[in-house]
């Protein structure tokens, strides 16, 4: 993160963890750039309370007004500009069928799932989030643990956000055992990005048969285990490109770090998934940074 135009910036960042979620509260005085990307592991529900937020997604700038609800989907956020803003974001990950369903969506379909919360709902939601962030900060500063009441509030926020996503995507319930299998595999893939695994190895990781593995992934993600593993590596590679400030030589390094034997094979798979070459993604990223610095 760095200041826009090298101007003075002060920031407060609060983090509260509960269940399989993380709640962030950010308060910015001045203009701050967060030059980062979603890494394909999770999605974020955000609410802007004051100021302004601009996101660079899929080579397009998007602006949000106070009380707009925002959903950040994996693999498509290159940069966030906060202008004297107060924001909340709830990062959801872990063993959640919602998370797995979203991650399984083809990249080109992500945009049609972006929605905003209605203003009254966003206002109410943001009030709960701010109270929760303030309480977690107070308890952390005094060395105390969260009370059952605050933990219950955190759980309620988590459930509300998850219900919001399920409503938007019209998800049907999946067998919890299938979700568990997919989550075990996904956790292993996140920890070993360079490894290319055959189906039998994935089944052993999930402690199930190959047949059970296929049934679980088709049920939860609508993909085969191999297709899901490939998409996982591609999203993480894209995250690295969107966060890079290097030249074109970085593409080959990122390809190797994510289990691709050659830049050409990586470029072919990447283009099929995202509709553009890795070099185009990197070029757009560097141009964006130059424009902001200039």
- Domain definitions of the chain by residue range: 2-169, 176-293
Q: Minimal CA–CA distance to 186: which of 202, 199, 200?
A: 202
Burial environment of residue 57 by CB neighbours within 10 A (0 to 12, 13 to 18, 19 or more): buried
Please give the CATH topology (third level) of the domain spanning 2-169: Jelly Rolls (2.60.120)
Fold match flag (2-169 vs 176-293)? no
What's the rounded Cα separation, in Å, for the pair 53 and 280? Answer: 25
Please give the CATH topology (third level) of the domain spanning 176-293: Arc Repressor Mutant, subunit A (1.10.10)
Alpha helices in the chain (DSSP H): 97-104, 119-141, 148-169, 176-191, 199-205, 210-221, 225-243, 250-257, 263-274, 278-293
Q: What is the pLDDT along the chain (294 residues), one digit of tens a residue?
A: 667 666 788 888 888 777 667 778 888 888 887 765 555 556 777 788 888 888 777 667 788 888 777 777 666 666 778 888 888 877 766 555 666 676 776 666 655 555 566 666 777 777 887 788 888 888 888 888 888 888 888 778 777 777 776 666 655 567 888 888 988 898 888 888 888 888 999 999 999 999 999 999 988 888 899 998 998 888 888 888 877 777 778 999 999 999 998 999 999 999 998 888 999 988 887 787 777 666
Reading the block at residue 53, the tokens are 């937020």
pLDDT at residue 260 in the model? 93
Contact between 31 and 5 (Cβ < 8 Å):
yes
242 vs 5, 7, 50, 94, 199, CA distance in Å? 21, 24, 27, 23, 30
pLDDT at residue 275 in the model? 86
Whole-angstrom distance between the N-terminal and C-terminal Cα of the chain? 17
pLDDT at residue 143 in the model? 86
pTM of the model: 0.76
């Amino acid at each position: 993160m760095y200041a826009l135009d090298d101007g003075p910036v002060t920031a407060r960042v609060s983090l509260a963890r509960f269940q399989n979620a993380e709640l962030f509260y950010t308060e910015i005085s001045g203009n701050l750039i967060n030059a980062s990307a979603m890494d394909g592991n999770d999605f974020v529900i955000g609410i802007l309370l004051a100021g302004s937020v601009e996101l660079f997604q899929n080579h397009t700038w998007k602006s949000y007004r106070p009380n707009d609800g925002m959903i950040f989907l994996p693999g498509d956020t290159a940069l966030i500009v906060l202008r004297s803003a107060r924001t909340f974001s709830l990062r959801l990950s872990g063993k959640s069928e919602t998370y797995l369903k979203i991650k399984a969506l083809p990249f080109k379909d992500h945009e049609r799932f972006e929605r905003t919360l209605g203003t009254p709902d966003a206002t109410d939601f943001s009030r709960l989030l701010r109270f929760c962030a303030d309480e977690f900060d107070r308890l952390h500063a005094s060395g105390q643990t969260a009370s059952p009441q605050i933990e219950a509030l955190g759980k309620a926020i988590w459930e509300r956000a998850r219900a919001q996503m399920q409503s938007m995507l019209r998800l049907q319930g999946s067998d919890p055992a299938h979700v568990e299998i997919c989550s075990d595999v996904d956790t292993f893939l996140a920890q070993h990005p360079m490894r290319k695994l055959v189906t039998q190895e994935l089944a052993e990781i999930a402690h199930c048969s190959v047949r059970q593995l296929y049934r679980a992934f088709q049920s939860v993600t609508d993909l085969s285990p191999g297709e899901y593993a490939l998409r996982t590596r591609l999203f993480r590679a894209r995250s690295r490109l969107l966060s890079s400030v290097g030249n074109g030589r970085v593409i080959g390094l990122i390809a190797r770090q994510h289990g691709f034997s050659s830049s050409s094979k990586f470029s072919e798979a990447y283009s099929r998934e995202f509709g553009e070459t890795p070099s185009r993604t990197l070029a757009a990223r560097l141009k964006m940074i130059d424009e902001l610095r200039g």
